[in-house]
Structure 1
Amino acid sequence: MGRSKPKKTKRKTLFISIIVILLLISSGIAYTVLNTTHTNSSAVKPKKTSSLNGIVASSSVAIAPADVTEDTGEAGWVKVKSKKKLDKFTDLSVQGVTIYRANNPKVLKTATAQIPGTFMMSDIVAKYPDSLILNTSGFDMNSGQIVGFQVNNGQLFSNWSNTAYGSAAFIINKDGSAKGYDLSTPADDILKKGAQQSYGFGSILIKDGAVLPNDGSVNWMIHSYIGNDADNNIYLIISDTSVGYDGTMAAIANLNLQNLVVLDGGGSSQMSLNGQTIFASQDGRPVADFIVLR
């Protein structure tokens, strides 16, 4: 009997020690939970999309009505005014990203109606041989109807719509200035500010000099882009397969771009200069809209 008491005391001491340790652990967990600041990181993480073209559907926005013209007539030229005189066309390409800068160019948009027909690059080159040419706005490959916000000759022929496509547009104004817009700006407001031509399909990556949050619309596929810098030079850009958002933004980081809009991509992406192919369509695709600079 004399030996059983120490055993009981030891068990009691061990039990008390375990209780104390558990209480300390519980207190630590409670303190951590109560003092942790929870943040919503959805604003900085790119949205995920399973869409093959990588375009993320825009949030629903009330679209202001506007009068739409069925056909805007024969495509006309707009003179872009750059602040400094440089070479007309400059190749600034880096590995995986084709970049051409145009200084003080005259610019023409080929599409003048919602169903303008589709054309091969060779068709446009034959008509405008001494030019820098890039595919631009997206279109329905079955109907040939162009999508997104579309202006030519200062007339609206397709208004904004709440779809996965055409949530942004690159605008060239009558006075030769350029600016990026998204669908939150009514068509009539854009037209009142002098819009003569518009180009768009995907989202806007840079607006008024600010890089916008990555929305996931630039994926591993080929993408075309149009933008302008602080001196109002125009940039035509194609990022190749697997370059993605990070690679594209790194390639243009030192260009001081003020606006950058995603255009049609994949097999539609193609560029030529003075009749020579700079970037060929992967599948020899005819498209509905080109920008021509000379």
Structure 2
Amino acid sequence: MPELPEVETVRRGLAPSMEGAVLKELELRRSDLRFPFPVDFARTVSGRGITSLSRRAKYLLIDLDDGMTIVSHLGMSGSFRVEAGASADAPGTFHHPRSKDEKHDHVVFHLTGAGDDARVIYNDPRRFGFMDIVRRADMVSHPFFRDLGPEPTGNELDADYLAKRFAGKAQPLKSALLDQKNIAGLGNIYVCEALWRSHLSPLRAAGTLVTDSGRPSEALERLVIAIREVIADAIAAGGSSLRDHIQTDGSLGYFQHSFSVYDREAQPCGTPGCGGTVGRIVQAGRSSFYCAACQS
């Protein structure tokens, strides 16, 4: 599933074509994706101006000029591409390749008014993604968002906050970090990477990172820094290529070439002087990649 940095790269890639444009027509080529589209979805949003694109966790948010917001989730295989004239641009790169097969083009945003007319096309072979429309003023209380924790890039995420969340918890650290109520948008790939950077085992109990007095340990301080850094590095890797990518190719970002443990089972650990080997275990149905020699 696309993670926060990939969704952020998609947002940045779509913004030049969508922000300030008028959504002349929303074309729905089927009645549903993972869920049915909202009633009168196309009629409700067609003709509205797009004021901004933003992101909350792994949700892409398309704000309209009437106070409504189109909420889009990419699911397992969803992607967007921009077509303007003869060129096509698919913002975002993912660990698993995205489809460009037009038979899976399910939603088309027909845009005008922000430079050249363009089409933004949503493609989703497995149809695990979805779209909805929410009043922006009600978003905080909406079921999609009301239980989400702070963003891993925001100032709310610090060691003191996680100490309160983790205190007394026997839950494995990997599971605690994937809990969206603790941190919003942090997914499997970047949890593995952050745990490796902070030399912490995914099997370790979350509560062991909190002192008896309820204060964050040095290890928890280290983990928060690692989370921030790995997300920032991944966003920078995707975003830095926006200037230089070939539009007809659409490939953006190369952070997956820098994975230290994720999907690197049986390869040498990259920690200087470690000498260990990356292993793989399964936790709650998800693969965890880590080095048992230097992550404890």
TM-score normalised according to structure 2 size: 0.27
TM-score normalised according to structure 1 size: 0.27
Larger Rg over CA atoms: 1
Which structure has more RCO (C-alpha within 8 Å, separation ≥ 6)? 1
Larger strand proportion, structure 1 or 2? 1
